Amino acid sequence: MTSVPISGRAASGHPGRRVRRFNRASRKAVLNLLGLLVALFALFPVLWMISTAFKPANEIFSLTPQPLPLHPTLANFQAVFSGSVIGMSYWNFLKNSLFVTLVAVALSSLIGLLAAIALGRFKFRFRTTYLVVLLIVQLLPQQALVVSLFIDFRKYNLLDSLVGLILVYTAFALPVTIWMLRNFAATVPKDLEEAAAIDGAGAWTRFWRILLPLISPGLVSTSVFAFIFAYNEFVFALTFLGTDTAKFTLPLYVQYFYGQNSTNWGAIMASSTLFTIPVLAFFLFTQRRLASGLVAGAVKG
């Protein structure tokens, strides 16, 4: 794959212009072809999921699978919405997921913002230690902590409870949120604030008028990050919501759906499509922001 670029460059040394032009064109064609192959590899599973979701049963189990449904049907989606397969509608689980996710995002943004201001705008003892501990905390594998959290949650009646999940998602989104926001907070020039202070702006005004507007792009990135983390999270949901189907979040619902009807691929893919497409749309919508936030958070750190 890497050898492809040679053709263009090696040729540019001596031979005639026509050869060079031909080489450049063929090089471009080869590169574009490779690009298409990569895109196909990346998109195929998702496209296959969507396509299967629209296929009637006889096409799903056909001996020669077709890339697109010959007779598209909405029956699979109807089964998912009506809840005819596991007795509860998709809407119920979407509601759970959105509730948990949105509250966790709001909490972690707020708490993370306060901490980020402390770490980005103040000098104090333990600041570096704090940042290092945050890094280490991120490395602790979730499935290692889940046992201990399960026992605590059992003690405090937080099992089978969406509140318990909100707490965990808030906590686990915090380290990254703080790290990323800290970099944004640190880049706001001190002069701006000092100038405002001279003009008589109090701490509160300076926060609202100067710090917050300048940090808000970072806040968008970290919210997107926290949203995706909480919306997709599986291990904690699996462990803490174990027995109460009505409380399931979407990832747990999709997995449960798959576990219960492992041959009803049309409906499984429909449920998975309804779970996945919002994330992908969200990503497409915010990816530029997200990328810049990640870069700002990672590289400048």
Partner 1 sequence: MVTSSHSRPGTSSPAGSTPPGHEPHGSLKTTDRPARPVPVLSSRRRAGNWIRKRGLGPYLLLLPATAVIAALILWPAVQVGLFSFQNYGLMQISGVLPAQWIGFANYSQILHDPEFWSSLKISLYFAVAVVPLTLIVGTLVGLLLERLGPRMRTFVSISAILAWATPAVSASVIFAWLVDPDGGVVDWALEKVPSWLGGGPSWAGFSWTNAPLPAYTVLTVMLVWTGFPFVAVTVLAGLRTLSPELHEAARVDGAGPWRDFWKVTFPLLRPIFLVLALLSTIWDFGMFTQAYIVTGELGNRDEYNLGLYEYSQAFTQPPHYGLASAAAFVLTIILLIVTVGYVRAAIKQGAFA
Backbone angles phi, psi at 233, to 5 degrees: -60, 140
Q: Collapse the DSSP code of 115 into the 3-class scheme (helix H, G, I; strand E, B; otherwise coil) and give the result.
A: helix
Q: Distance between CA 153 and CA 266 in Å, rounded? A: 37
31-50 residues in contact with partner 1 (CB under 8 A) are 31-32, 34-36, 38-39, 41-43, 45-46, 48-49
Q: Which residues, in sequence order, are CB contacts of 194 under 8 Å at separation 6+? A: none
- Contact status: 158 vs partner 1 (CB under 8 A): yes
For residue 237, the minimal CB distance to partner 1 (Å) is 10
- Contact status: 182 vs partner 1 (CB under 8 A): no
Indicate the residue among 99 and 130 with the shorter CB distance to partner 1.
Answer: 130
- The sign of the CA dihedral 247, 253, 255, 259 is positive
First to last CA, the chain: 33
Q: Distance between CA 245 and CA 252 in Å, rounded? A: 9
- Contact status: 3 vs partner 1 (CB under 8 A): yes
Indicate the residue among 67 and 87 with the shorter CB distance to partner 1.
Answer: 67
For residue 70, the minimal CB distance to partner 1 (Å) is 15
Indicate the residue among 164 and 218 with the shorter CB distance to partner 1.
Answer: 164
Take residue 30 and report the two structure tokens written for it: 């080869």
* Concatenated DSSP letters of 224-255: HHHHHHHHH--HHHHHHSTT-GGG--HHHHHH
- Contact status: 195 vs partner 1 (CB under 8 A): no
258-297 residues in contact with partner 1 (CB under 8 A) are 258-259, 263, 265, 268-269, 272, 275-276, 279-280, 283-284, 287, 291, 295
Indicate the residue among 221 and 255 with the shorter CB distance to partner 1.
Answer: 255
- Contact status: 226 vs partner 1 (CB under 8 A): no
Number of residues that bind partner 1 (CB under 8 A): 112
DSSP 8-state assignment for residue 85 = T
123-152 residues in contact with partner 1 (CB under 8 A) are 124, 126-127, 129-130, 132-134, 137, 139-152
- Contact status: 214 vs partner 1 (CB under 8 A): no
Q: Which residues, in sequence order, are CB contacts of 107 under 8 Å at separation 6+? A: 166, 170
- Contact status: 79 vs partner 1 (CB under 8 A): no
For residue 281, the minimal CB distance to partner 1 (Å) is 10
Over its C-alpha atoms, the chain yields an Rg (Å, rounded) of: 25
For residue 81, the minimal CB distance to partner 1 (Å) is 18
- Contact status: 251 vs partner 1 (CB under 8 A): yes
Q: Which residues, in sequence order, are CB contacts of 113 under 8 Å at separation 6+? A: 181, 215, 219
Q: Which of 16, 191, 198, 243 binds partner 1 (CB under 8 A)?
A: 198
Residue tagged 């809840």 (tokens): 83
Q: Which of 76, 96, 170, 221 binds partner 1 (CB under 8 A)?
A: 170
Q: Distance between CA 166 and CA 182 in Å, rounded? A: 23
x-or-dash pattern for partner 1, window 88-107, by CB under 8 A?
-------------------x
